[in-house]
Amino acid sequence: MAETELKSARFRREREGDWRRLETLLQRLEREPVSRLSDEDLLAIPVLYRATLSALSVARETSLDRSLLEYLEGLSARAYFLVYGARSNLGARLVRFFVHDWPAAARALWRETLLSAAVLVGGAAVAAWLYAVDADWYFAFVPRQYAQGRDPTATASALRDILYSHAHGGMLQVFAAFLFTHNAEIAVLAFALGFAFGVPTALLVFANGCTLGAMLALYASHGLLLPLGGWLMIHGVTELSATVLAGAAGFRIGWSLAFPGERSRLDAAAVAGRQASTLMAGVLLMLLVAGGLEGIGRQVITSDLARYAIAGLSALGWAVYLYGPRRSRP
C-alpha cells in the first residue's frame, strides 16, 4: 500500500483553497457594494465559479463524501445566483429603458392598447348616453364625495368657476403628490388584475371611462364642453394614456394566461409579465408627470389656450416617443 490517502480526499485537498476563496468573495459581495472589490477579485469570480461547477461534476462521479458534495452543490448554486443574478449597471439599465425597452414594450402591446382604449371610450360613451337619458345616472359614475358640487343640480356659472379657480394655495405640491400616488396604485391594480384573465382590468378601465363620460356629458349639457376640455386634457392626455397602457399591460397578462399558444401556460405568463411590467414602469412615470400637471399646472395655468397647447404638445410628445419611427438597434 504505497498510497493510503483516498483519491477523493486528495481531490478535495488540492482544490479546497479555491472554494474557500470563492466563498469569501461571495460573502463580501452579498454585504458590500461591488465597487469595494478589486478588479482582480471580480475577474476571479466567474473563473472560480466554473472551476467549482466542474469540481462538483467530478465529485459527483468520484466522491462519496456527502458533506463535500452538499457543500459544492450549495457553493455552486450561490455563485450561480450571483454570476447570473440581477446585477447590472443601474445607469446603463436606465438609459436602455428609456431609449429602447419602454417604447418597444408599448409597441409590442399595440393590440392590447387598442382594446384598452376602446374599452375606455366605450365606458365614456355609455355613461354619456345614460346621462342623456336620465341625469340621475350621473351619481352612479361619480360618487358624491368626489363630485364636490359638480353635479346636474349645479348652475352653469358654478360649474365654470370650478374650472378656473386658483385653489389650494401652498398645498399644490401635496395635491400633486396625492394624485400621483392615488393614480399609480390604481394603475398597478389594473395591471395586477390582469391575472384574473383581464376581466377585472376591463371593468376598471370601463369604470374610469364612465366617470370621464359622465363629466363630459354634464358640462356639455351646460355648453361648457370647450373649457372642460382644456381643464381635463392638460393632464388628461398623459393620465388617460397611462390608464390605457396600464389596462393594456393587464390584458397582455390575462391573454397569455387564457391563450398561452405554443408555450406552456407558465412560460407564456412569464414572458408576458416581464414585457407588461416594463410598460408599467413607464406608466408610473407618465402618472408622475400627469400628477404634476394636474396638481400644479392646472391650478396655475387658467388660460384655455395655454391648457390646450400643453395638452396638444404632450399628446404629440408621447405619440412620437412611444410609436415614432426610430433606427433599429445594432
Write out the binding residues for other proteins, residues 103-162 only, by CB under 8 A: none
d(CA 82, CA 315): 42
Shortest separation between residue 74's beta carbon and other proteins, angstroms: 4
- Choice between 88 and 328, CB closer to other proteins: 88
Tell which residue, 97, 147, 154, has the closest CA to residue 275.
Answer: 97
Q: Which residue stretch of 27-35, 144-152, 207-215, 308-316 sits at the interface with other proteins (rule: CB under 8 A)?
A: 27-35
| 74 contact partners, CB below 8 Å, separation of at least 6 | none
- Choice between 48 and 311, CB closer to other proteins: 48
- Choice between 1 and 305, CB closer to other proteins: 1
Site string for other proteins, 73-102 (x = CB under 8 A): xxxxxx-xxx-xxxxx----x-------x-
- Choice between 2 and 305, CB closer to other proteins: 2
17 binds other proteins (CB under 8 A): no
d(CA 140, CA 131): 10
Q: Which residue stretch of 137-145, 150-158, 169-177, 312-320 sits at the interface with other proteins (rule: CB under 8 A)?
A: 169-177
262 binds other proteins (CB under 8 A): no
Tell which residue, 195, 183, 235, 206, has the closest CA to residue 116.
Answer: 206
- Choice between 78 and 150, CB closer to other proteins: 78
Site for other proteins in 196-225 (CB under 8 A): 196
14 binds other proteins (CB under 8 A): no
Shortest separation between residue 99's beta carbon and other proteins, angstroms: 15
166 binds other proteins (CB under 8 A): no
240 binds other proteins (CB under 8 A): no
Tell which residue, 274, 167, 154, has the closest CA to residue 215.
Answer: 154
| 36-40-43 Cα angle (round to 5) | 100
The amino acid at 295: G
d(CA 279, CA 94): 14
276 binds other proteins (CB under 8 A): yes
Shortest separation between residue 291's beta carbon and other proteins, angstroms: 10
- Choice between 236 and 282, CB closer to other proteins: 282
307 binds other proteins (CB under 8 A): no
Q: Which residue stretch of 166-174, 234-242, 305-313, 322-330 sits at the interface with other proteins (rule: CB under 8 A)?
A: 166-174
Site for other proteins in 35-74 (CB under 8 A): 50, 53, 56-57, 61-68, 70-71, 73-74
| 82-285-319 Cα angle (round to 5) | 115
Which residue carries 364625495 as its cell? 145
The amino acid at 39: D
311 binds other proteins (CB under 8 A): no
- Choice between 327 and 329, CB closer to other proteins: 329
d(CA 139, CA 218): 11
- Phi and psi (nearest 5°) for 19? -65, -45
Shortest separation between residue 325's beta carbon and other proteins, angstroms: 24
Tell which residue, 272, 214, 264, 232, has the closest CA to residue 248.
Answer: 272
Which residue carries 376640455 as its cell? 229
Site for other proteins in 181-200 (CB under 8 A): 181, 184-185, 188-189, 191-193, 195-196
- Choice between 279 and 310, CB closer to other proteins: 279
The amino acid at 50: R
Tell which residue, 190, 185, 146, 310, has the closest CA to residue 238.
Answer: 310
d(CA 134, CA 213): 14
